[in-house]
Amino acid sequence: MTRRALIAGNWKMNMLRAEGEALAAALASGLKPGMAADLLVCPPATLLAPVSAVLAGSAVALGAQDCHMRDSGAHTGDIAAVMLKDLGAAYVIVGHSERRADHGEDDATVKAKAGAALAAGLTPIICVGETEAQRDSGEAEKIVGGQILGSVPDGASQSGIVIAYEPVWAIGTGRTPTVDDIAAMHAHMRHVAGRMLDGAGALRLLYGGSVKPGNAAEILALEDVDGALVGGASLKAEDFLAIAAAVA
């Protein structure tokens, strides 16, 4: 089954307004017609509105980095999925390893957030991944499979969600698993997700973890890799567009 690639940029906690607007403008103008991938940027919450305005009418989609599980209420500092939708977002990242580690988010929390995203009309990008210790102990597939089973909301469809595999030990370190390791994990993820979704042939699986122009083509050519969740390289328009251009 043909799945259109998605190249998503996670800007994390970087850039002020002028920088974000300039990067968004560079991406919108640099996107070549006929590219084989969809482009998505996920700026910090403070930049969602100005970046949305810059990207209006372009082929670059807007996403957020997190959402709350409720639509409203006494949740100081949080942002509801419906609010993100109202700002023009189409996607939201949930369960990133930095949220799981820094904010203590477990699978149940991620599942609730993904469900809220779906209810608001957003596509959740559900992040999973093992630590270095878990990989070294031979538990990587067990951990990642368990995160998928615990984080994908009930009633989700293959086309309604995206799952991103980010080995925790590779994020921002410059290290990546071997292509054989990436291929094996993505095949495992599709198998596990298929048990929940009545098949997973249409499900988009992304790889994240030190993706850059130099390794993108090899990773994106793998059968079960349908795109990338890019961190540091998404902060430079030239690098981000080069990764997108690496999709065959």
68, 166, 186, 188: which is the annotated catalytic residue? Answer: 166
| Joined tokens for residue 151 | 């984080």
Does position 53 have pLDDT exceeding 80, yes or no? yes
68, 96, 186, 188: which is the annotated catalytic residue? Answer: 96
Q: Tell me which CATH homologous superfamily contains domain 5-245.
A: Aldolase class I (3.20.20.70)
pLDDT digits (tens, 9 = 90+) for 101-121: 999 999 999 999 999 999 999
Residue type, 106: D
Predicted local confidence at residue 162, as pLDDT? 98
At 149 the three-state DSSP class reads helix
Angle made by CA atoms 85, 86, 91, in degrees to the nearest 5: 20
- Of 190 and 248, the structure prediction assigns the larger pLDDT to 190
The number of helices, as runs of H, and strands, as runs of E, in the chain is 10, 8
Predicted local confidence at residue 1, as pLDDT? 56
**pTM of the predicted model as reported, rounded to 2 decimal places:** 0.97
Q: How far is Cα 1 from Cα 52, in angstroms, rounded to an integer?
A: 32
Average pLDDT value for residue range 150-170: 96
Looking at the DSSP bridge assignments, the partners of residue 8 are 40, 229
Does position 145 have pLDDT exceeding 70, yes or no? yes
Specify whether 166 is catalytic: yes
Predicted local confidence at residue 176, as pLDDT? 79
Q: Map out the domains of the chain as residue ranges.
A: 5-245
